[in-house]
Structure 1
Amino acid sequence: MTTLLPDTRMLIDGSRVPLDSERIIAVTSPIDGSHLAEIADASGAQIHDAITAAERAFSKWRQVSGNERAKLLNRLADLIDRDSHELALLETTDNGKLLRETSTQARFAARNYRFFAGAADKLYGHTIPLDSWDTFDYTSKEPIGVAVLITAWNSPMQLLANKLAPALAAGCTVVIKPSEIAPLTTLRLADLIAEAGFPQGVVNIVTGGVEAGIALTTDARVGRISFTGSVPTGQAIARAAAGTLVPVTLELGGKSANIIFDDADLERAVPGAVAGIFAAGGQTCIAGSRLLVHDSVADIVTKRIAEIARNIVIGDPRADETQMGPVASSLQQERILAMVSKALDDGSHLLVGGGRPDDTSLPAGSYVQPTIFTEVDPESRLAQEEVFGPVLAVTRFSDEEQAVSIANSTEFGLASGIWTSDLSRAHRVARELVAGTVWVNTYRYSAAQAPFGGVKRSGYGRERGLEALDEYLRTKNVLIDLSNSVRDPFAIKA
């Protein structure tokens, strides 16, 4: 399959920046290890220029009506839909996810832009009745200014839409930095931004590594930083932003519990558990990497999932028959296999997989077998640490209280799943789970209208849903004294 590679130059103030041969990063495909492209390793000076461009553009962009911003966002959504196959193929080649997954994500990205287009002209404030009759008080919602948007490699199109759509709808200008591991669809978006008609400087796209990241997260001119990625990097960004008092939105890791109760419909729960961990090769922050199963159904559930896992078709993610492609890089492959080795050392029982596929017909990419461990101690490293790969940890429980206790026993709190036919139980358990998202009788279901985000080490702030707009707006209060009275200048008026 031929992939049309995009212009990989950065976009700053409406212009593409020529690559410097001494500051480049190679981009390779995890499918076969082939060289795809070269991108810029931005310098601190280039990051400064990008923020300056966004800051300059903000003075005019903030005055553009919500209706006009909505038109531009809807136009961008139309262009993404038009080019969805090309974008999906590019992302699959870049990060190894199934083409049918990235195709869905391209359409979902467009849906997000349309959703926030609908909100762009509805950023209402409030009129507030105070105790005094002759005082008028109201609030207004104002954009925070320049937003820095940093995305991860596992779902670049979707993750960027989660951030860019509400930021633009709110009236912010942005500087985007995709992961250097999978930057190509974000760089391709630069062309669509221009075609949609956004003014120059409103959207800037930079690429790079550590130097670029530090420059982006330590500039006091930035109004908000939104980051999706690992916990250590998120912590570093939060520490850096504390120095300039810039607010941060963090969508970090997860160790989500997918709980199957004894009354669950197993015909739905088993595929749901498979989708939770083996879809996208387990490379999602919401992966249901911990499967908690009631004692009475544990044997049959484990047997069925193991049978599915052994027969998963691994291969080129662009092929229709493939069910699981490679992980995103050789470095990630080694990290996953190291975690498998640790799990064996800790006494977990390896039921399926645990290594590289035996299929010699596979290209020399970053492939890992679907892997299942049983008898996993809830306190073990496998149950506590994020693997970010196709590795499932199965733990049994005996009652509802124990299931909730185990589910809440990690430092993460991003997502969770409940499988039950008991409506009362579903509500009880959902209330007790410490997680930003709780799915009942489904898993990995996303909606533009539904807020998403975590608690504990999974981060803070929300993306998607109307709550996401608040990340890019600040509330201003205006109080007007309507009286003609002269006040006592030495006492507060209240």
Structure 2
Amino acid sequence: MQKTYDFKLYRNGTWIESLTGETDTIYSPTDGSVVGTVPIAGAVDVQAMLETATAAQKAWGKLPAIQRAKVLHAFCAEIRANAEELAQLITREQGKLLKVARFEVEVTCSFIEYAASHARHLEGDIIPSDNPDEQLLIHRVPRGVVVAITAWNFPLALAGRKIGPALVTGNAVVVKPTPASPLSTLALCDLAKKAGVPDGILNMVTGDVEVGKTLVESPLTKMVTMTGSTPTGQAIARSAANNLTHVQLELGGKAPCIVFADADLDQAVAGALHSRFDNFGQVCTCNERMYVEASVYDAFMAKFLAEVDKLKLGDPIEEDTDLGPLTEARSVTNLENLVAKTVEQGGRITRGGARPKGDAFAKGHFFEATIIEDVTQEMDIVHKELFGPVLPVIKFEGFDQAIAYANDCEFGLAAMVFTKDLSKIMRLHQVLEFGEIYINRGHGELHQGFHNGLKLSGTGGEDGRYGLDQYMEKKTTYLKY
């Protein structure tokens, strides 16, 4: 019998009961079994959490950054020592393939370690003054208390992505894990304690929208970093406005995947396939709409559909499974409605299109790998975020039409392009309205890059030195000597 996790709130290095006495149950998206329970916090719980973090941050922020980095490296050692249990938990609560969940645990550590590697590079500037016998000193200093709000598609990695840079720069953190899959994130708390993260520096609170709103609206919160939907991000920005709290938002996406006639078609098939069905399409940078140049459309689609046919839908624990369940039941309903609407508008389903039949899928949130052709640019499915294993495919004629179609979108997170033409490649960064552009490969950002959305896909950005800078304030001193 599998373990059931019963977590509490984590404040000041201790597990404590929520004052509300209310709890939320987490069910497996694979078979509906109970994975664990978490408390639903109230306003008093949140206030105590923020006060604790505010008090603890002062000493932590004064430590040399290299000492903070040593604690983070110890934290990663504890995570790796418990990697298999964490991976199994991710799979149970979120539905991710176990082999990919194991990779997510390692990515969590690499996010933290990358941030820790900057400990000796949190540099300011010395600038000449206009006045004699004077210099300008610009220091980078911690913001204070950072509230980190995560999403359910990568529950552990997104926590690491925020915890690492927040802590190495001297902030304290209050994490609000996603309500859909919070357990693996909460499991980090005991590991942090064992690694020597000081009490009060890493805290975790669970609950509903009101908990998030209370966290964001508090004057004790000096920064909010959030990954999630665009409507939620907009609500956070409004709630943070009264205190002018700094916000960093990574929001929705509707990434185009453009295949030009001069592309290496095998390379394009592999990239497009990975970028649609990775994590069952539940990735903000996924291939959400595919544009194929008309002259190679038939040849490309023959190869692409042959690869789609090889995908196995099943239990994410099994090694040969390619597609598992969607995390939330409402995602399946959303896909059903969008597929039906697309067919009504003239789209043609050439693969999948429905929930799979059979007892193995009856209790889970499963949906078939679905390809829809004869799609036109004005259809709803081209503009609404899918976040699942459904792909609309559109023909285009020439460079200008491809770019116009791609940019016809309220989101601007990521785009993928396959072409051998250097002229096209050099023009792409100028004309594509997306923060990340992948050329001749599928999606998948690197730590040293900058994960930055344009339009309604976010503000602030994460990763690399530009992302790390979000977690620090700048102070200028005019030094007369």
What TM-score bracket applies, with the shorter chain setting the length? over 0.9
Partner SS, residue 199 of structure 1: coil
Report the residue type matching 1:168 in the other structure. Answer: L
Tell me which residue corresponds to 1:473.
472
Q: Tell whether 2:9 aligns with 1:10.
A: yes
Task: Give the 4+ runs in structure 1 shifted more than 6 A.
Answer: none
Asked if structure 2 preserves the Cα contact closer than 8 Å seen for 1:19 and 1:39, the reply is no
Tell me which residue corresponds to 1:56.
55
Question: For 1:246-325, what aligned pairs fall within 5 Å after superposition?
Answer: 246-325=245-324
Tell me which residue corresponds to 1:401.
400
CA distance in structure 2 between the aligned counterparts of 1:104 and 1:421, rounded to whole angstroms:
31
Measured against aligned partners, the alpha-carbon deviations of 1:180-209 in whole angstroms (never above 9, x if no partner) come to 110011110011110110110000001011
Measured against aligned partners, the alpha-carbon deviations of 1:74-127 in whole angstroms (never above 9, x if no partner) come to 111222222222211110111111112111111111111111111123211100
Measured against aligned partners, the alpha-carbon deviations of 1:117-149 in whole angstroms (never above 9, x if no partner) come to 111232111000122232211100001000000
Question: For 1:223-242, what aligned pairs fall within 5 Å after superposition?
Answer: 223-242=222-241
Tell me which residue corresponds to 2:210.
211
Deviation at 1:363, TM superposition (A): 5.0
Partner SS, residue 80 of structure 1: helix
Tell me which residue corresponds to 1:450.
449
Relative to structure 1, the CA distance from residue 446 to residue 233 in structure 2 (aligned partners, 3 Å threshold; closer, same or farther) is same
Tell me which residue corresponds to 1:337.
336
Deviation at 1:338, TM superposition (A): 1.7
Tell me which residue corresponds to 2:144.
145
The farther-off stretch of 472-481 and 438-447 is: 438-447
CA distance in structure 1 between the aligned counterparts of 2:216 and 2:309, rounded to whole angstroms:
44
Report the residue type matching 2:48 in the other structure. Answer: D
The farther-off stretch of 260-269 and 78-87 is: 78-87
The farther-off stretch of 286-295 and 338-347 is: 338-347
Aligned-CA RMSD value: 1.5
CA distance in structure 2 between the aligned counterparts of 1:124 and 1:232, rounded to whole angstroms:
35
Partner SS, residue 137 of structure 2: strand
Tell me which residue corresponds to 1:429.
428
Asked if structure 2 preserves the Cα contact closer than 8 Å seen for 1:7 and 1:187, the reply is no
Deviation at 1:46, TM superposition (A): 0.4
CA distance in structure 1 between the aligned counterparts of 2:366 and 2:378, rounded to whole angstroms:
28
TM-score by length of 1: 0.95
Tell me which residue corresponds to 2:171.
172
Q: Tell whether 2:139 aligns with 1:128.
A: no
The farther-off stretch of 110-119 and 428-437 is: 428-437
CA distance in structure 2 between the aligned counterparts of 1:431 and 1:7, rounded to whole angstroms:
51
Asked if structure 2 preserves the Cα contact closer than 8 Å seen for 1:31 and 1:363, the reply is no
Tell me which residue corresponds to 1:365.
364
CA distance in structure 1 between the aligned counterparts of 2:3 and 2:329, rounded to whole angstroms:
23
Partner SS, residue 361 of structure 2: coil
Report the residue type matching 1:282 in the other structure. Answer: G
Deviation at 1:481, TM superposition (A): 2.6
CA distance in structure 2 between the aligned counterparts of 1:121 and 1:52, rounded to whole angstroms:
29
The farther-off stretch of 20-29 and 126-135 is: 20-29
Partner SS, residue 226 of structure 1: strand
> Which blocks of at least 5 consecutive residues in structure 1 are unaligned?
483-494
Report the residue type matching 1:439 in the other structure. Answer: Y
Asked if structure 1 preserves the Cα contact closer than 8 Å seen for 2:326 and 2:388, the reply is yes
CA distance in structure 2 between the aligned counterparts of 1:381 and 1:153, rounded to whole angstroms:
25
CA distance in structure 1 between the aligned counterparts of 2:287 and 2:85, rounded to whole angstroms:
30
Deviation at 1:6, TM superposition (A): 4.4
Question: For 1:190-209, what aligned pairs fall within 5 Å after superposition?
Answer: 190-209=189-208
TM-score by length of 2: 0.97
CA distance in structure 1 between the aligned counterparts of 2:32 and 2:342, rounded to whole angstroms:
28
Measured against aligned partners, the alpha-carbon deviations of 1:28-83 in whole angstroms (never above 9, x if no partner) come to 00010111111101101101111011001011111111111010111112222222
Report the residue type matching 2:404 in the other structure. Answer: S
The farther-off stretch of 450-459 and 12-21 is: 12-21
Report the residue type matching 1:296 in the other structure. Answer: S
The farther-off stretch of 235-244 and 78-87 is: 78-87
Tell me which residue corresponds to 1:356.
355
Asked if structure 1 preserves the Cα contact closer than 8 Å seen for 2:260 and 2:419, the reply is yes
Partner SS, residue 121 of structure 1: helix
Partner SS, residue 360 of structure 2: coil
> Which blocks of at least 5 consecutive residues in structure 2 are unaligned?
none
CA distance in structure 1 between the aligned counterparts of 2:51 and 2:81, rounded to whole angstroms:
32
Deviation at 1:308, TM superposition (A): 2.4
Report the residue type matching 1:460 in the other structure. Answer: T
Question: For 1:376-391, what aligned pairs fall within 5 Å after superposition?
Answer: 376-391=375-390
CA distance in structure 2 between the aligned counterparts of 1:300 and 1:191, rounded to whole angstroms:
53
The farther-off stretch of 319-328 and 389-398 is: 389-398
User: What percent identity do the matched residue pairs reach?
Assistant: 35
Tell me which residue corresponds to 1:491.
none
Tell me which residue corresponds to 1:489.
none
Relative to structure 1, the CA distance from residue 478 to residue 188 in structure 2 (aligned partners, 3 Å threshold; closer, same or farther) is same
Question: For 1:86-105, what aligned pairs fall within 5 Å after superposition?
Answer: 86-105=85-104
CA distance in structure 1 between the aligned counterparts of 2:120 and 2:374, rounded to whole angstroms:
54
